[in-house]
Amino acid sequence: MARRSMLRRGLGMLAWSLAGLLLFVVAVLVVFRFANPPTTAFIVAHQLEFSGDTVRQQWVRLSDISPWMPLAVVASEDQRFPEHWGVDVNAIKTAVADFRQGDGLRGASTITQQTAKNLFLWNGRSFARKALEAGLAVSLEAIWPKRRIMEVYLNVAEFDRGIYGVEAASQAYFGTSARHLTSGQAARLAAVLPNPKVFDAGSPSTYVWQRVNWIEGQMKQLSGLRYLEKVLAE
């Protein structure tokens, strides 16, 4: 009886702890819907790994970013962004099927999942981390509008070592504000996002140029700037 009582008490404490953690996460997401995050998990990890290394990031509103940039990242990373609720189930099924056939566990992450990962999680390909990422992404979609998700994503995405956000990347690679990015420049920045520590938007490799050309083609196929008009409307 005593052991059963202790087990019941332990399960009760665990349930209350999980509920408290969930409420805390929801509260943070509500705050970040209106207030810009002061930092991210990825930036903190970078600062811990490269002590003293300069971090370049300048927050800008989505209205101060060229409309080509959201289109470029959607064309490159998540073409169903206007439709899904944070997780692309079809992409996940394909990734799991490939993994079972012996391929590596690839991302299949939506822009919402990448935003959640950059803000709160760590880099990696484990199922546990992917499950947390998916749960956070669904919560983000429930609390934030698509416009806010895109705004935060473009301000926290890593484009190179120590370069976070599209404004810092635009200044570093093109000497211009994110407001003035052309469609080609936006495609170059989007092309490095899958692996910013290897791909270079400043001196693109042949492979990166191929990605740039593919992204520009996808941008045209998605009906250009009209594709995101409704979902990103103020």
Q: What is the pLDDT of residues 91-131, one digit of tens each?
A: 666 666 655 665 444 456 899 999 999 999 988 777 888 88
Percent of the chain with pLDDT over 90: 69
pLDDT of residue 3: 66
Start-end of H helices in the chain? 2-34, 41-49, 68-77, 89-100, 111-120, 127-143, 146-156, 166-174, 183-192, 206-221
Cβ atoms of 130 and 93 within 8 Å: the answer is: no
pLDDT of residue 101: 61
Is 70 exceeded by the pLDDT of residue 46?
A: yes
Is 80 exceeded by the pLDDT of residue 13?
A: no
Average pLDDT on 7-30 reads 70
Residue 12 tokens read as: 């009760």
The CATH class of 36-228 is mainly alpha
The rounded distance, in Å, linking the Cα atoms of 119 and 156 is 8
pLDDT of residue 52: 77
Between the alpha carbon of residue 6 and those of residues 2, 11, 15, the distances in Å are 6, 9, 14
91 or 32: which carries more pLDDT confidence? 32
The rounded distance, in Å, linking the Cα atoms of 132 and 135 is 5
Q: Which long-range contacts (CB under 8 A, 24 or more apart) does 23-27 make?
A: 25/136, 25/139, 26/139, 26/143
- What are the residues whose beta carbons fall under 8 Å from the beta carbon of 183, sequence distance 6 or more? 68, 71, 72, 216, 219
Condensed to tens digits (0 to 9), the pLDDT of residues 145-190 reads: 999 999 999 999 999 999 999 999 999 999 999 999 999 999 999 9
Length of the chain: 234
| Intra-chain end-to-end CA distance of the chain, in Å | 60
Containing H/E element for 159?
strand 158-160
Whether pTM exceeds 0.85: yes
Mean pLDDT in the chain? 88
Q: Which long-range contacts (CB under 8 A, 24 or more apart) does 24-27 make?
A: 25/136, 25/139, 26/139, 26/143
Position 159: which residue type? F
Is 90 exceeded by the pLDDT of residue 137?
A: yes
